[in-house]
Amino acid sequence: MLRRCVMLLCGVGLCFAVSACQRMDEWQPLTEQEGQLHIEKAKFLDAIPAEYGDLVSVTSMADHPSWVQAWFVRPDKSLVVVWINGNTGKMLDHRLVIPRR
């Protein structure tokens, strides 16, 4: 009897879970204009401009363990990513800017 009740409860729970699902919109690839992030040229390579704002995170890249990404947040909440080589201390000559809307 207990087994029947447990099976009935599991069946009802499964019915509720399945009925709560809804079909997702079909995936559509981005166009040329969508998803393009702005890459700006570095003003100088021996310092990080104060206009980039506060440092919020530093992440590493598994494929290139000597390179780190320094993430900064500007006052307008946009993000700036700077790539730094931990072995040599050199920075790449471009910055990735991720705007916030």
**Per-10-residue mean pLDDT, the chain, length 101:** 86 79 74 77 88 94 91 94 92 92 80
Query: In total, how many domains does the chain have?
Result: 1
**The tokens 């006052």 sit on which residue?**
75
pLDDT score for 30 = 66
pLDDT score for 81 = 95
Is residue 19 one of the residues assigned to a domain? no
pLDDT score for 60 = 92
Is residue 5 one of the residues assigned to a domain? no
Using CB atoms within 10 Å of the CB of residue 72, give its burial: 0 to 12 exposed, 13 to 18 middle, 19+ buried.
Answer: buried
Is residue 74 one of the residues assigned to a domain? yes
Is residue 21 one of the residues assigned to a domain? no
Among the listed residues 73, 20, 9, 92, the one whose alpha carbon sits nearest the alpha carbon of residue 82: 92
Is residue 1 one of the residues assigned to a domain? no
pLDDT score for 59 = 95
92 lies in which domain range? 37-101
